[in-house]
Amino acid sequence: MTRGAAFDDLLVRLRRPPLPVTVPLIRDETLNSYVARLARANCLKESALRQHLTGSRLPSVPISLEVLAQATGHSATALSYAMPELAPESERAAVLRLGDRPSDKEHLSRNVCRACLIRHGVNPRRSPDISIRRHPEDFICRRHRRWVAPDGFPTDRQPDLRDQPEIMRAHGLHGRLIRRHGRFPVSVAFGEAENIMHIWERNGLCQERADQRMIAWTGWSDWRAYVRRGDPRRAAAQYPEVIALARLLASPYWRGLALNGTRGTEINLRFLAEVRRTISQNYVWLTDGYHRAMDGLAHRILDERERRDRVDRFSYTEERDEGMIPLHWD
């Protein structure tokens, strides 16, 4: 380092001295969330801290990795690993590939495992607004076996899953489905399965296994009278059956059997046997008008069949009008 460069580095250090209090890093935390925690720990306003780091109070002004490393005492490598958005463009892809990290475009979540925060030395009560990036399926902390509820559920209720091995096995199946079919198809199938399960729950269908898990959690056979609808334990108890149904809906083989295995309102017997084996032994295929609305799975499959038949008839009419399909065969 030349004398001029060393003098410039000294000027930078004098202008931006290290902060008296630093905060621990949390993996996949957003930069804005980390700056807010850092400002709160040093009894500063966030705008004042940004003025110290960038020379401007505007949040749109980017914070340099080197400046943040100098102010916090953390190395640039540690900061870029915890917050990949700080990493240079040439290194960001390599950082995101480590452990299948969520990208900058992944959705934000304010529900973080409280045991992980305590492990990193963060008080969850003093830092209630931490935002991290995570994949849509990352709502179970496998290290601490906690159900980290999706957004919209209370963050202070994270059920312990140490006595619920079926839920942990279902989360492993969730990951295998994503590796096999891709994250987007599995996310779509998971959303469909959740809607079907909610319809079943509303009509008292296919809830035997989920009821057993809720009884094990609460100790009450009539737990519905005491557990409110927004309790995250209800979603956790239904999770294995939701994943089992999402496996059938995401698989081209099982979905093909359900849609193409039979005609009319009947269902393929092999698909029906798989539903009874993996979801509920008491499942009954209901297709008449009143019961079809109660059975979310039958309603979803028959609607898709009818939609496909309408598209096929429309395509046949267009091709016939264009002279591609003869009306009378020789």
**pLDDT tens digit sequence for 314-329:** 554 444 444 443 333 3
Q: pTM for this structure?
A: 0.77
HSE of 314, CA atoms in CB hemisphere, 13 A: 6
Q: Which residue has the higher pLDDT, 328 or 79?
A: 79
pLDDT, tens only, 41-70: 888 888 888 888 887 788 788 888 888 888
Give the CA radius of gyration of the chain.
27
> How many Å apart are CA 263 and CA 249, to the nearest integer?
19
For residues 205 and 295, is the Cβ–Cβ distance under 8 A? yes
- DSSP 3-state percent helix, strand, coil across the chain (nearest 5): 55, 5, 40
pLDDT, tens only, 168-225: 999 999 999 998 998 889 989 999 999 999 988 888 888 889 889 888 888 888 888 8
For residues 160 and 167, is the Cβ–Cβ distance under 8 A? no
Say what angle helices 252-260 and 296-321 make with each other, to 10 degrees: 80
For range 285-298, the mean pLDDT: 76
